[in-house]
Structure 1
Amino acid sequence: MTTKLSVNINKIATIRNSRGGNNPNVLKAAIDCQNFGADGITVHPRPDERHIRYSDVREIKPIITTEFNIEGNPKEDSFVQLVLEVKPTQVTLVPDSRDQLTSNHGWDTIKEQKFLTDIIALFKNEGIRVSIFTDPQESIVAAAADTGTDRVELYTEAYAAHFHKDPMAAIADYAAAADIAFAKNLGLNAGHDLDLQNLGYFTKSVKNLLEVSIGHALISDALYYGLENTIQMYKRVLF
């Protein structure tokens, strides 16, 4: 099984928004990523629209043929309505607060069990695959299975932060969480701070990994290597 690469294009929108106008063109970037070999396109619209805008999400859906993954907090009514309107391939539920710079924790699937169960049912009834963002804790992943979600996405910042010091220690919780996900018939995704240095070890050590979502590192690498070449570099790591 080859792990799929979904490219998060938020950072391209951030550059565009810093000057106004439409350069770089986010829609062209989505098409290019797809043509250059990405297995999916990920966006994470936030209420302040500081990078991807809700209008971008609406415009991207009809122009790509690959998987479309929308991330966000389902406690925001506007996000829920956007997902129901656009009907992406996958919605990834992330418990971000409005003032967060970036995602920094997963769901407490035990405490939030009722809320997650209800919102997941809403999306699945519309034919949308659901993944929920979780920390690599066995009890949290096990409880995620009780919400009815199709997949969990393991939050990988802790792995990335400790990888260079001790890869085996850094990966241990993730490998254990992956085993629980498999036992509970949950699909497994991963994302956050994965890059060309740490991605290969992660995908070789974590079993049954279906998809990684990578944005910041990949777009940063593209400044040096070019977008097409960078996507192919990441794809080669995944094989």
Structure 2
Amino acid sequence: MTKLSVNINKVATLRNARGGNVPNVVQVALDCEKFGAEGITVHPRPDERHIRRSDVYELRPLLRTEFNIEGYPDKEFIDLVLKVKPNQVTLVPDLPAQITSNSGWDTKKNVELLTEVLDIFKSAHIRTSVFVAPDKEMIEYAAKAGADRVELYTEPYATAYPKNPEEALMPFVEAAKITRSLGMGLNAGHDLSLENLNYLYVNIPWLDEVSIGHALISDALYLGLEKTIQEYKKCLTK
């Protein structure tokens, strides 16, 4: 079964735009679980422009599904993850000023950094995932660094999907096969939507998890959160 992890950053963005606690980020996360999501993802950035560190601490004891924290592994992030001890930590290469994570790691260039950080988290019994493009060498070096999983950066797939789904998916299927051959688990995320998710799932049914935020929260404005989560879960069936 491929798990649906809901990234709630956009909910925090809306809250922070007005101040106060509306919408309530923690309550939305708990509702996502109640409506069928198998995980919650957060991406705390240094400027706290959406998810705040206080949100992360508040969420941890309340969540009953899988908790995934993603981010760039600077000292502050590493300390936060070690204190919170989520089920999974996903390392992304984004700089503090980036709007969103829009590229995978150069795992070959950063293999020493990744090995050191992954060792820290694995020693704390936290499952590790590394955000990568669907590139054979990048996946191989993620394995060399000791990652438990990779998360495939799916924005190129989502962009090309409307014109030629088969061609858009081809490099991701190959990347998924390489990942499996190396004994790592497989996640995917970025710009996945109700339009393109099922095609990805049907062709890569051994996906462990998809992390979806922007599209899902946007759809919920029209469909409501409960129905939206159910529609995304339907996409994860053949």
Q: TM-score range by the shorter chain?
A: over 0.9
Counterpart residue identity of residue 24, structure 1: P
Quote the offset at 1:206 in angstroms: 2.0
Q: How do 1:59-74 and structure 2 match up within 5 A?
A: 59-74=58-73
The TM-score, its normalising length taken from structure 1, stands at: 0.98
**Partners of 1:23 and 1:42 in 2: CA distance:** 19
**Per-residue Cα deviation, 1:165-194 (whole angstroms, up to 9, x for no partner):** 011110011000001000000100000000
**Partners of 2:95 and 2:55 in 1: CA distance:** 21
Q: How do 1:1-239 and structure 2 match up within 5 A?
A: 2-74=1-73, 76-239=74-237
Counterpart residue identity of residue 54, structure 1: R
**Partners of 2:94 and 2:141 in 1: CA distance:** 20
Quote the offset at 1:128 in angstroms: 0.3
Over the residues paired in the alignment, what is the CA RMSD in angstroms?
0.6
Counterpart residue identity of residue 120, structure 2: L
Q: Unpaired segments of 5 or more residues in structure 2?
A: none
Quote the offset at 1:143 in angstroms: 1.6
**Partners of 1:219 and 1:57 in 2: CA distance:** 19
Tell me the percent identity: 59
**Per-residue Cα deviation, 1:173-224 (whole angstroms, up to 9, x for no partner):** 1000001000000100000000000000011112421100000000000000
Kindly indicate whether the alpha-carbon contact (under 8 Å) linking 1:179 and 1:207 is maintained by their aligned counterparts in 2: no
**Partners of 2:104 and 2:89 in 1: CA distance:** 15
**Per-residue Cα deviation, 1:82-134 (whole angstroms, up to 9, x for no partner):** 00000000000000101101101011111111110110010010010000000
3-state secondary structure, aligned to 1:95: coil
**Partners of 1:46 and 1:15 in 2: CA distance:** 16
**Per-residue Cα deviation, 1:32-88 (whole angstroms, up to 9, x for no partner):** 0001000000000000100000100010000111000000000x2111100000000
Quote the offset at 1:144 in angstroms: 1.1
Q: Unpaired segments of 5 or more residues in structure 1?
A: none
Kindly indicate whether the alpha-carbon contact (under 8 Å) linking 1:178 and 1:207 is maintained by their aligned counterparts in 2: no
Quote the offset at 1:139 in angstroms: 1.3
Query: Would you say how many aligned residue pairs link Structure 1 and Structure 2?
Result: 237
Counterpart residue identity of residue 4, structure 1: K
